[in-house]
């Protein structure tokens, strides 16, 4: 770890930001959906609710991708490989 380009703490910050962006993006979609629902546009509201759900489900996927990136930058290749395996499994889940 001493010779790492990126520290564990910096990888942590990257993960923290990814998770926060995903959650707030989903909440923003839900807020728009709720507003459209109150304005009696149920079809449009449904699309925003769905977008929020998709954003939320993709948040851990993005977090795993960022972990792979972060550990690659930190030259922690074993953990990069582990993250890529998890990412592949999530991709399989999408295709099932």
Which residues bind to another protein, rule: CB under 8 A? 8-9, 11-13, 15-16, 19-20, 22-23, 26-27, 30, 33-34, 37, 42, 45-46, 49-50, 52-54, 56-61, 63-64, 67, 71, 76, 78-79, 82-83, 85-86, 89-90, 92-94, 96
13 vs 39, which CB is nearer to another protein?
Answer: 13
27 vs 39, which CB is nearer to another protein?
Answer: 27
Tokens 């923003």 correspond to what residue?
28
Q: What's the rounded Cα separation, in Å, for the pair 61 and 55?
A: 10
* Shortest distance (Å) from residue 95 CB to another protein: 9
Q: What's the rounded Cα separation, in Å, for the pair 71 and 74?
A: 5
Q: Structure tokens of 2?
A: 């001493």
Handedness of CA 51, 56, 57, 61 (dihedral sign): positive
């Amino acid at each position: 770890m001493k010779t790492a380009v990126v520290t564990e703490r910096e990888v942590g910050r990257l993960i923290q930001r990814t998770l926060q962006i995903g959650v707030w993006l989903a909440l923003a979609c839900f807020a728009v959906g709720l507003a459209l629902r109150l304005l009696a546009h149920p079809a449009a509201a449904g699309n925003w609710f769905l977008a929020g759900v998709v954003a939320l489900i993709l948040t851990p996927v993005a977090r795993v991708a960022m972990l792979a990136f972060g550990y690659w930058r930190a030259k922690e290749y074993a953990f990069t490989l582990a993250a890529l395996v998890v990412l592949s499994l999530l991709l399989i889940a999408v295709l099932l």
